[in-house]
Structure 1
Amino acid sequence: MNAAKVAEKNTPYWWEAAPVKPLPKRPLAKTLDVAIIGAGYAGLSAGLALAREGRSVAAFDAMNPGEGASSRNGGVTSGTIRPDYATITRRFGEAKAMAIEAEGKIAREFLYDFIRTEGLDCDFRLVGSFKGALGYNQYETMARNAETLVKRLGIDAYAVPYAEQHNFIGTDFYRGGAVRTDIGGLHPAKFHAELLRVALAAGVTVHSHTPVTNIEKDGDGFRVTTSAGTVRARQVLVCTNGYTDGANPYLRRRLVPVRARIIATEPLPPEVMARLMPKRMTIGENRQLGFYYRPTPDGSRILLGGRDSSRVGDPAEPTLRLLSGLAEIFPELAKVGLSHSWYGNVAMNRDMIPRIFEKDGVVYATGFCGSGVVWAPWVGMRAAHKLLGHAEQARSAFDFRPPAAVPFYNGNPWFMPAVIKGYGLQDKIAWWKTRR
């Protein structure tokens, strides 16, 4: 049995309104100012900034533009950084930790302003986010963290006690939680389609189904070999992430593709949606293998996402796990039908922090660790300004050394099933502690 047997379709729900598709073939330029590898959020954002500064730019994508994570994600504008503040401080120092945390606020504000000023029709709503606590100890930690966000960064955040939980989510599964009002939701495939539209209008040439097979130094520039031929570029920017292939072995050894999966319910009655998700917020939780979920932009269904432990094919088990998780949170949806179940790759690195870095003259913008809706456009734009020599606009806390290579890894994440099982065990222990 595969996922299509559980859900009606195994393609992203987002593709119904904004299908990904190949672009008309364009002649390959002999020379370019900048060659960009990847035409997702990061690559197109960078290309837009470069083209508007008068640079000749072409972006090369091995698939349809946006066919990877840019149109497969949950559309939550969280800008989450996986390590907590204490962990980042321990690894990199308090100044770096503070700069990274502060940049999240700036990056979200940048995204919202970008959507507004460019007139991007992508169903964006600043609905806020609720994170559920799995126990009262976790709730107390969340309440303290909310106070810290208010004091340190001026972010509107507050705790929600268990007695008030139903004002935000129609479940008794959590023991209260916390709200942030600076997080919203958008339609990720529409966002990419609109980003592609403005990039093309600015003069960026985008080549679909044109993988780059080699990048080599050539005098004061680079020779970029693609499936359509070779082009000479003065500068190269690599913006691949969860779909980085063997053509860039240096980056591939530093990014681990991890499958994530999202399910979409069949349309639910309006009164059910109003009861289960009364404020239409995006929802998250603190489990290693936890779920994130939200209403669709039209408010008719629930989308729920999480880790997918499979590595090949499209088996049914990961879909069934998400369906079971949905029923655990909302018991009345135990027998709900699914319209869609799909997966996509997110790219993790050893630091679990997005990155801008340079290696042998090539600039990289990558490593979004499952939060690319905010980080990919932001990091892509900062990398573009780095190429342009705009020191102030390029400044970013994410511009530092490359992520370390993963030992004994060369593109095949053979260790991920064991990692997923380990996370599951941690969740069981944590769950037991909350219910003692």
Structure 2
Amino acid sequence: MQDQKIADRNTPYWWEASPLQSLPQQPVATKLDVVIVGAGYAGITAGLMLARAGRSVAAFDAMNPGEGASSRNGGITSGTIRPDFATITRHFGEEKAIAIEAEGKRAREFLYHFIETEGLNCDFQLVGAFKGALGYKQYDKMARSAEALAKRLGIETYAVPRGEQLEYVGSDFYRGGTVRKDIGGLHPAKFHAELLRVALAAGLTVHSHTPVTAISRDGDGFRVTTSAGTVEARQVLVCTNGYTDGAAPFLRRRLVPVRSRIIATEELAPAQMARLMPKLMMMGENRQLGFYYRPSPDGKRILLGGRDSSRTGDPVASTLGIRKGLVEIFPELETVRLSHSWFGNVAMNRDMIPRIFEKNGVVYASGFCGSGVVWAPWVGMHAAHKLMGQGERARSAFDFRPPAAVPLYRGDPWFLPAIIKGYAFQDRITLWRERR
């Protein structure tokens, strides 16, 4: 049997420098302009905007604020849209595809400006990102896509042939790749803590460990039932993403929570870090279940994440699977000790595109599909403008029809292990084809 202690800790590495904040309990207001369900990046950003506009607003979270994906993610400011440009064009038309692609650029620019102007101390560094190709055919396609993206949006992005690959990543696993200079990294738990700090100072009330259990119409407004009392609200915004429960059944049928697991190595020697991650960039790869990885903000260890097919508990096999990916990319790390292994939920929908939409008067901002560091603050900000009726400022390419419901799904993703195994099989076939 495998040793049960694969990593020293099963809590996020990020919590070492930025522990979870347990807010003091306070009475629940009986009347509010806006109730926000969820106190992650999206909910807190929306609450900040609304409070600064003079609205009485409170955010309710079933856990500590940010205890979900907001303090468990990799901290990469990718703003990835999972379907490629051709797929979005086929499903929604070229105009929508161009708008979605352009919004990614604006969302990253918004995030970077927001961090700077608000003085958010979150270890942000605009270091760029490298994405590895599995084979030369894939490399050619990625190189053409990078060239087209640079022409359409003026983003600094370019191809890196295999002969120059070691200048970006100390691995022979890839067959070249592409670089984007508009992507960076931050400390996700510090980012949330700083967001929370400025939002509380602006007048947002945040109730931790206070789940919302029901939302119902009450005349022109809503009656929101929480574990600490009932609130009459003029408007309701739901930002629960991968932690959506029965309080929002319409959204729950459309978002599938998927575990994403991250491991952190022990501190590595400076020479080894310089060899494996010479430019200290954010890293990804072009496969269905691709790993994402990065240096820690202090540049002393490597953090690597990927999909976790487990659904309950914290099984050893899940950490071993992610560790296997680390060694596949960096064979010399086969015996390295892991300091941390943890997981959190990301939320996928059938379109794989983030969304703002309204249903029966409730506004929803969710479905970040694993790229919430960029999309959650952006979508939360636009949802706040939508609630305030600020037409042009609220305009977003993500504000359109709700994603379709997942057939036979009511909140229990029983089908995920089979789907992930299917993706893993596709990846093996792709790797075989690319390297024949």
**TM-score band (shorter)?**
over 0.9
2:96 — aligned with what? Answer: 96
3-state SS of 1:242 partner: helix
Question: Residues 112 and 2 of structure 1: is their aligned pair in 2 closer, same or farther, counting only changes over 3 Å?
Answer: farther
- TM-score w.r.t. the length of structure 1 is 0.99
Q: Deviations over 1:161-188 (max 9, x none)?
A: 1111111111111111110000000000
1:158 — aligned with what? Answer: 158
Q: Deviations over 1:358-378 (max 9, x none)?
A: 000000000000000000000
The 5-angstrom pairing of residues 369-384 of structure 1 reads 369-384=369-384
Letter in structure 1 aligned against 2:397: A
8 Å CA contact 1:260–1:308 kept in 2: the answer is: yes
8 Å CA contact 1:32–1:231 kept in 2: the answer is: yes
The 5-angstrom pairing of residues 76-91 of structure 1 reads 76-91=76-91
3-state SS of 1:5 partner: coil
- TM-score w.r.t. the length of structure 2 is 0.99
2:62 — aligned with what? Answer: 62
Q: Does 1:244 align with 2:231?
A: no
Q: Deviations over 1:83-139 (max 9, x none)?
A: 111110010011000000000000000000000000000000000000011101111
Instruction: Name stretches of at least 5 consecutive residues in structure 2 with no aligned partner.
Output: none
1:409 — aligned with what? Answer: 409
3-state SS of 2:242 partner: coil
Letter in structure 1 aligned against 2:208: S
1:37 — aligned with what? Answer: 37
Measure the CA separation in 2 of the matches of 1:220 and 1:435: 61
Q: Please report how far the alpha carbon of residue 146 of structure 1 lies from its aligned counterpart in structure 2 after TM superposition.
A: 1.0
Instruction: Name stretches of at least 5 consecutive residues in structure 1 with no aligned partner.
Output: none
Q: Does 1:295 align with 2:295?
A: yes
Q: Please report how far the alpha carbon of residue 248 of structure 1 lies from its aligned counterpart in structure 2 after TM superposition.
A: 1.4
2:133 — aligned with what? Answer: 133
Measure the CA separation in 1 of the matches of 2:294 and 2:56: 40
Question: Residues 202 and 2 of structure 1: is their aligned pair in 2 closer, same or farther, counting only changes over 3 Å?
Answer: farther
Counting aligned pairs with the same residue, the percent is 78
3-state SS of 2:313 partner: coil
3-state SS of 1:59 partner: strand
3-state SS of 2:245 partner: coil
1:52 — aligned with what? Answer: 52
1:359 — aligned with what? Answer: 359
Measure the CA separation in 2 of the matches of 1:3 and 1:400: 49
8 Å CA contact 1:3–1:315 kept in 2: the answer is: no
8 Å CA contact 1:78–1:371 kept in 2: the answer is: yes
Q: Does 1:319 align with 2:332?
A: no
Measure the CA separation in 2 of the matches of 1:303 and 1:361: 41
Measure the CA separation in 2 of the matches of 1:3 and 1:140: 43
Q: Please report how far the alpha carbon of residue 20 of structure 1 lies from its aligned counterpart in structure 2 after TM superposition.
A: 1.0
Letter in structure 2 aligned against 1:126: L
Question: Residues 209 and 271 of structure 1: is their aligned pair in 2 closer, same or farther, counting only changes over 3 Å?
Answer: same
Measure the CA separation in 1 of the matches of 2:3 and 2:91: 40
Measure the CA separation in 2 of the matches of 1:235 and 1:93: 32
Q: Please report how far the alpha carbon of residue 434 of structure 1 lies from its aligned counterpart in structure 2 after TM superposition.
A: 1.1
Measure the CA separation in 1 of the matches of 2:150 and 2:286: 20
Measure the CA separation in 2 of the matches of 1:142 and 1:28: 52
Letter in structure 1 aligned against 2:192: H
Q: Does 1:193 align with 2:193?
A: yes
3-state SS of 1:404 partner: coil
2:333 — aligned with what? Answer: 333
3-state SS of 1:79 partner: coil
Question: Residues 146 and 404 of structure 1: is their aligned pair in 2 closer, same or farther, counting only changes over 3 Å?
Answer: same
Q: Does 1:309 align with 2:300?
A: no
Measure the CA separation in 2 of the matches of 1:387 and 1:435: 52
8 Å CA contact 1:3–1:314 kept in 2: the answer is: no
Letter in structure 2 aligned against 1:66: G
Measure the CA separation in 2 of the matches of 1:420 and 1:220: 44
Q: Does 203-212 or 319-328 show the bigger shift?
A: 319-328
3-state SS of 2:243 partner: coil
Measure the CA separation in 2 of the matches of 1:118 and 1:223: 34
Measure the CA separation in 2 of the matches of 1:4 and 1:363: 44
3-state SS of 1:343 partner: strand
Q: Please report how far the alpha carbon of residue 3 of structure 1 lies from its aligned counterpart in structure 2 after TM superposition.
A: 9.2
3-state SS of 1:206 partner: strand
Question: Residues 33 and 3 of structure 1: is their aligned pair in 2 closer, same or farther, counting only changes over 3 Å?
Answer: farther
8 Å CA contact 1:3–1:10 kept in 2: the answer is: no
Q: Please report how far the alpha carbon of residue 4 of structure 1 lies from its aligned counterpart in structure 2 after TM superposition.
A: 6.0
Q: Please report how far the alpha carbon of residue 328 of structure 1 lies from its aligned counterpart in structure 2 after TM superposition.
A: 1.1
Q: Please report how far the alpha carbon of residue 23 of structure 1 lies from its aligned counterpart in structure 2 after TM superposition.
A: 0.4
Q: Does 1:17 align with 2:10?
A: no
Q: Please report how far the alpha carbon of residue 247 of structure 1 lies from its aligned counterpart in structure 2 after TM superposition.
A: 1.6
3-state SS of 1:172 partner: coil
Letter in structure 2 aligned against 1:185: G
8 Å CA contact 1:2–1:314 kept in 2: the answer is: no
Q: Please report how far the alpha carbon of residue 21 of structure 1 lies from its aligned counterpart in structure 2 after TM superposition.
A: 2.8
Measure the CA separation in 2 of the matches of 1:53 and 1:132: 44
Measure the CA separation in 1 of the matches of 2:2 and 2:360: 44
Q: Please report how far the alpha carbon of residue 61 of structure 1 lies from its aligned counterpart in structure 2 after TM superposition.
A: 0.3
Query: Which contiguous aligned blocks of 4+ residues in structure 1 show a shift greater than 4 angstroms?
Result: 1-4
Q: Does 1:273 align with 2:260?
A: no
Question: Residues 80 and 3 of structure 1: is their aligned pair in 2 closer, same or farther, counting only changes over 3 Å?
Answer: farther
Q: Does 1:123 align with 2:123?
A: yes
Measure the CA separation in 2 of the matches of 1:249 and 1:354: 18
Letter in structure 2 aligned against 1:109: E
3-state SS of 1:327 partner: helix
Question: Residues 103 and 2 of structure 1: is their aligned pair in 2 closer, same or farther, counting only changes over 3 Å?
Answer: farther
